[in-house]
Structure 1
Amino acid sequence: MNLRRLSELLGLSQTTVSRALNGFPEVNEVTRARVIAAAQRLNYRPSASAASLATGKACAIGHVVPLTEHMMINPHFSDFLAGAGEIYAQFGYEMLLRVVAQVDEADVYRDFASRGRVDGVVLHGPLTNDPRLPLLKSLGLPFVVHGRCDEEAKDYSWIDVNNRRAFYRATGFLADLGHRRIALINGLETMNFADRRRQGYEAVVAERGLEADPALVFSEDMVEPYGYRAAVELLSGPQPPTAILVSSVLPAMGVVRAMAEHGLRPGRDVSVIAFDDSLSFLQASGEGKTGEVPFFTAMRSSIRQAGRRAAEMLLEQIGAPDGAPRRELWEAELVIGQTTGPCPADRRTPVPADEGRG
């Protein structure tokens, strides 16, 4: 079904049909309703190029991936794009993905704005006090941040998970199970989300009087080999942890691999909690079935759903550019799986009498 065929079936000009679908005020409401109903019934979707001509908009959303030692092209990023792409397609928008050297990233945003290549952008991988924020504001380019760049975060639109609280809850859960030597295998802490996760972990360590050992904390790109290397170092040391908190299910898989090589079983010998983005390619067998217990105990929040919502927020901003910034902070769900259990009796250490629970 294309615009010409839809117009013929309705007995209307292509111009009238296009204007009805794109909200032009000169089309009366009866005609508009008739056109929209027919388009839905016949599964008609306007092409982005046709919509661009009709509305004067690019009908495209930009996503920029800087090439650095930290590669944003990973399963987390892919699932986010898949969710966002579903919303773009629903509203007749295309996705413009640019992969560039990090030093050229600012020039891409300037090109987007000066040439009208996109109607807005999603900012990925925000840093604390990220310099891209003032640049996008100065360009007048609508944007939504996946995450936050600062503590206040009041003058721009963003969607984020409450990372500090998620890791506060996860660390507290392990402490309640009797674990006192808890390791953190974190993401890159130049990234705002990882910095917040460490804050949550450290708050519980301080409040509960847990062992605060710098040798228990790691920070690197969240891939499986990193989790393996960190776990090997932890488990081979003179004082291995009884629990490990991992910033993604990908390095958590590496942790489990290292444990297997050391003859250790998750949940019995060492407890493991991962942050789980519900990645599409890692859906566990039987996941979601009644009575099935997931493998990893996890703080869970769907990154695909975050992609959908970020896209909706950006399109709302494009449609109402004078509206106030939108901010959404999601809470992660604690899902109990098979990888956590009480601290082994032979590894327990005395709890200080004045321990705070916070």
Structure 2
Amino acid sequence: MNLKEFANLIGLSQTTVSRAMSGYPEVKAETRARVLEAAERLGYRPNISAQRLATGRAGAIGIVFQGGGRFGPHSSEFMGGLSTSLQKDGIDILVSTVETLEDEEAAYRGFAASKRVDAVILHTPGCADPRIALLQSLDLPFIVHGRSEAAKPFAYLDIDNFGAIETAIQHLADHGHRRISLINGDTSSTYAHDRDNGYRATLQAHGIAMDPALIGQGEFTDETGFRLMQSFLALPAPPTAVIAGSMMSALGAMRAIRVAGLRLGQDVSLVAHDDVFPYLSPENLVPSVTTTQSPIRAAGERIGEMTLRLLQGELPETLQEVWEVDFVRRGSTGPAPN
């Protein structure tokens, strides 16, 4: 069945049907619902190339990854959720990889000039991120996975990173821990900056002195977690607890604790942030790992939905969400050792 035949069957013009299926804001909600219901019932699937030609839309969302380290398990899970959401509307994802910030900004200018994408997903924002102002100046629709300071409002989805660390420290302090270390990411990124602020503020709220030697930064890898935990344990007054910024760095920290001949959950407690990878389950580790938890795949899926709403005309300031983070206590945390 082609577009003309489908439009005739439901008594609408071909233009109205095409625009309804592409999410144009000028099409009434009830008309779009009618078209989508009829398409599902009659088994109509539009010719994507013809639809894009008729609507003037690219039918694609762009995302740029800067440097090889930016594309790892977190990115692949996020992309899986994003794809699940967008494929329902026949939207493709155009991925570009670059080496520098200048290259990334050039990629956005290229997207805007060529009109190869209808919108962009911006990830890992900095505390004051020049990419946001650039995208606004290019008039290229975008949604940020994270938050940043900006002069004009923009659409975003973030998790409460401050609150996640606050909850973890509250749990550890309630069990008598006073020497709590943090394995964090690069604090030029907002998420890590928020975690650092949460760490410092919550220690102060509990009357615990902050020791800079107990803070480490780096990529969320097993090796980084191992090396940082080794350095913490080598201190004259080593920590009795550690908060790991990801399950990947938590694996390295756990290895370092065992190499040192210490018992996880008894000699040293551990809380990790879990982005919910299907192949790395904290409850299946020994001991099971206490976590703050927020599924990154669900974030990708939600950002896909928000992008479609943005393209349908919703204002960026109405598309701003901050998700609370769950806390799951398991076997890797216990009372501070005497």
On whether the aligned pair clears a TM of 0.5, the verdict is: yes
Is the 1:148–1:160 contact (alpha carbons within 8 Å) kept by the matching residues of 2?
yes
Aligned counterparts of 2:32 and 2:236: Cα–Cα separation in 1: 73
Determine if the alignment matches structure 1 residue 333 to structure 2 residue 326: yes
Hey, what does 2:276 align to over in structure 1? 278
Determine if the alignment matches structure 1 residue 234 to structure 2 residue 227: no
Shift of residue 282, structure 1, vs aligned partner = 1.6
Shift of residue 135, structure 1, vs aligned partner = 0.3
Determine if the alignment matches structure 1 residue 92 to structure 2 residue 85: no
The equivalent position to 2:201 in structure 1, one of 200, 203, 227, is 203
Shift of residue 76, structure 1, vs aligned partner = 0.7
Aligned counterparts of 2:84 and 2:46: Cα–Cα separation in 1: 15
Deviations 1:271-317 (A, max 9, x none): 00011111232235779xxxxx9821111111111111111111111
Determine if the alignment matches structure 1 residue 142 to structure 2 residue 141: yes
Hey, what does 2:292 align to over in structure 1? 299
Distance 1:45 1:88, change over 3 A: farther
Shift of residue 36, structure 1, vs aligned partner = 3.5
Shift of residue 22, structure 1, vs aligned partner = 3.5
- Per the alignment, in what secondary structure is the counterpart of residue 281 of structure 1? coil
Shift of residue 101, structure 1, vs aligned partner = 2.1
Structure 2: gaps spanning 5 or more residues: none
Shift of residue 42, structure 1, vs aligned partner = 6.2
Determine if the alignment matches structure 1 residue 20 to structure 2 residue 13: no
Aligned counterparts of 1:132 and 1:300: Cα–Cα separation in 2: 28
Determine if the alignment matches structure 1 residue 163 to structure 2 residue 158: no
Aligned counterparts of 2:30 and 2:188: Cα–Cα separation in 1: 54
TM-score for both structures, normalised by structure 1 = 0.84
The equivalent position to 1:247 in structure 2, one of 240, 245, 248, is 245
Letter in 1 for 2:298: Q
Letter in 1 for 2:84: E
Letter in 2 for 1:131: P
Letter in 1 for 2:55: T
Is the 2:20–2:35 contact (alpha carbons within 8 Å) kept by the matching residues of 1?
no
Deviations 1:316-336 (A, max 9, x none): 111105564421111101111
Letter in 1 for 2:65: V
Judge which range, 50-59 or 92-101, deviates more. 50-59
Hey, what does 2:103 align to over in structure 1? 104
Deviations 1:216-242 (A, max 9, x none): 100111111100111111123322100
Determine if the alignment matches structure 1 residue 59 to structure 2 residue 56: no
Letter in 2 for 1:36: L
Alignment RMSD (CA, Å): 3.0
Hey, what does 1:264 align to over in structure 2? 262
Shift of residue 55, structure 1, vs aligned partner = 1.4
Shift of residue 34, structure 1, vs aligned partner = 7.2
Shift of residue 21, structure 1, vs aligned partner = 5.1
Letter in 1 for 2:167: R
Counting matched residue pairs gives 333
Aligned counterparts of 2:322 and 2:151: Cα–Cα separation in 1: 11
Shift of residue 261, structure 1, vs aligned partner = 1.2
- Per the alignment, in what secondary structure is the counterpart of residue 237 of structure 1? coil
Is the 2:154–2:316 contact (alpha carbons within 8 Å) kept by the matching residues of 1?
no
Distance 1:175 1:72, change over 3 A: same
Shift of residue 48, structure 1, vs aligned partner = 3.9
Shift of residue 72, structure 1, vs aligned partner = 1.2
Is the 1:79–1:280 contact (alpha carbons within 8 Å) kept by the matching residues of 2?
no
- Per the alignment, in what secondary structure is the counterpart of residue 70 of structure 2? coil
Distance 1:182 1:44, change over 3 A: farther
Deviations 1:113-163 (A, max 9, x none): 11111110010110011010110000001111100112x787111111111
Judge which range, 260-269 or 323-332, deviates more. 323-332
Aligned counterparts of 1:210 and 1:301: Cα–Cα separation in 2: 27
Is the 1:48–1:94 contact (alpha carbons within 8 Å) kept by the matching residues of 2?
no
The equivalent position to 1:192 in structure 2, one of 190, 193, 199, is 190
Aligned counterparts of 2:332 and 2:145: Cα–Cα separation in 1: 29
Structure 1: gaps spanning 5 or more residues: 288-292, 347-358
Aligned counterparts of 2:306 and 2:295: Cα–Cα separation in 1: 17
Aligned counterparts of 2:325 and 2:32: Cα–Cα separation in 1: 42
Aligned counterparts of 2:316 and 2:92: Cα–Cα separation in 1: 23
Aligned counterparts of 1:44 and 1:236: Cα–Cα separation in 2: 66
Q: Runs in 1 of length 4+ with deviation above 6 angstroms? A: 6-11, 24-34
Shift of residue 212, structure 1, vs aligned partner = 1.8
Judge which range, 52-61 or 247-256, deviates more. 52-61
